[in-house]
Amino acid sequence: MALTDPLGSNILIGGLQGSSTHGANADTIGDQFVPEVWGEAILDSFQKNTVMAQLGTEMSGMTGGDVVNLPHVGVPIVKAVTQNAETVTMDVSGSDTATTTQLKFDEHYVAPLWIPDAVKVQSNYNLFSLYADQLGYAIAKTVDNYIISTIANAVTTAIGGADGVNDNATMNVEVEATFVPADLAELLPLIIGETGSTDGWTLVLGKTCYGALANTSNFGNSYTLGTQGTPLGAGFANTGVAGNLLGMPVIASNSAFLDVGSLAADAEKGITKAWDGFDTGGTDDDDILRGFAIHKSALYWGIQQSSVKNSYQHTYMSDLVTLDAIYGATARVADSAGDRRIIVLTDDLD
């Protein structure tokens, strides 16, 4: 369909060219702007940019309330089978059935975008792709930052001290601004002591620690990169996964919460939850969070709803396109046997 004067037609009339079911509207230009196409493209960008959503256990799609109760079932005890003897007995010592963790879907944020000339945007794929990607990226970063801030605040509660990290904590490895084999030798026993293997664990590193890990002369064959053509792995651009270390996926993260002592909230930048560092006494000695190893049972998160909406705002002569998400996250971790499911890598300043 030739489009000679976009300002001379009413984009709101709708109709599909050549469609007998739309009668008089068949010659309009409404088919140039299809909100469903925007929706698919924006949500696709959102999925590609939520790096931290790979961690923990996803509880998305839960409906019927804003709170999900998660009983603590622990790890079932394994017992030997004895001939002609009772096998199953009432023994719940491997469970913590008296307590629960609550996942609350109490975060609701929206990324709005005004389109003054929807026809021009729709007819130019580059602009369309740019706008769709930016909306998806904005909400994805907000969700990512909320997940990692939940982790940072949880470990601060567990091992924070009056003046930085509690040095007696058994879920903290001091890396001193880099990551070397000696740090791995300290980290691995803590992981094995909790779950018996590295299965279910993911290692998240800031740029400082990852730079040392990527130097294969330090770790040799224990760290596996991608292929020669894609040294960080084929999916790194979308997932952040940059290799594998002793059975654990390694995520190279540029999160604002890593490699800093504290971080102020800035909702417009997607930092909806502040982090005051490991200091619980209100001092200025904020030890730096360089990364962490996390088990999938330590984090629960979910997106209850995400939707793309479009409406024409006649008073502004513009289309308003929005992507919003209702989400939540909770981290269960404590400095006690069986609950040390997040082991942090810190640069202790004290």
* Per-residue model confidence as pLDDT tens digits over 266-287: 887 788 888 888 887 766 667 8
Q: Given a cut of 60, is residue 328 above it in pLDDT?
A: yes
Least confident of 45-54, 76-85, 126-135, 226-235: 226-235
- pLDDT at position 28 is 41
Q: Given a cut of 50, is residue 233 above it in pLDDT?
A: no
Q: Which residue has the tokens 């017992």?
A: 79
Q: How confident is the model at residue 3 (pLDDT cuts 50, 70, 90)?
A: very low
CA distances from 264 to 91, 164, 187, 207 (A): 46, 17, 29, 20
- pLDDT at position 322 is 86
Q: Which of 113, 32, 36 is nearest to 316 (CA)?
A: 113
CA 128 to chain centroid, in Å, comes to 26
- pLDDT at position 220 is 63
Q: Name the 3-class secondary structure at 248.
A: strand
Q: To the nearest whole percent, how much of the chain has pLDDT over 70?
A: 69
Q: How confident is the model at residue 119 (pLDDT cuts 50, 70, 90)?
A: low
CA 178 to chain centroid, in Å, comes to 24
Q: Given a cut of 70, is residue 17 above it in pLDDT?
A: no
Cβ neighbour number for residue 181 with a 10 Å cutoff: 12
> Which residues, 6 or more positions from 121, have their beta carbon under 8 angstroms from its beta carbon?
115, 127, 128, 131
Rounded to whole angstroms, how far apart are CA atoms 85 and 90?
Answer: 14
- Say whether pTM exceeds 0.85: no
Q: To the nearest whole percent, how much of the chain has pLDDT over 90?
A: 8
Q: Which of 198, 170, 93, 144 is nearest to 333 (CA)?
A: 170
- pLDDT at position 25 is 40
- pLDDT at position 16 is 36
- Give all strands of the β-sheet with 201-205 in edge-to-edge order: 172-174, 342-347, 288-295, 201-205, 248-252, 241-245, 223-224
Q: Which of 71, 73, 74, 46 is nearest to 60 (CA)?
A: 46
Q: How confident is the model at residue 73 (pLDDT cuts 50, 70, 90)?
A: low
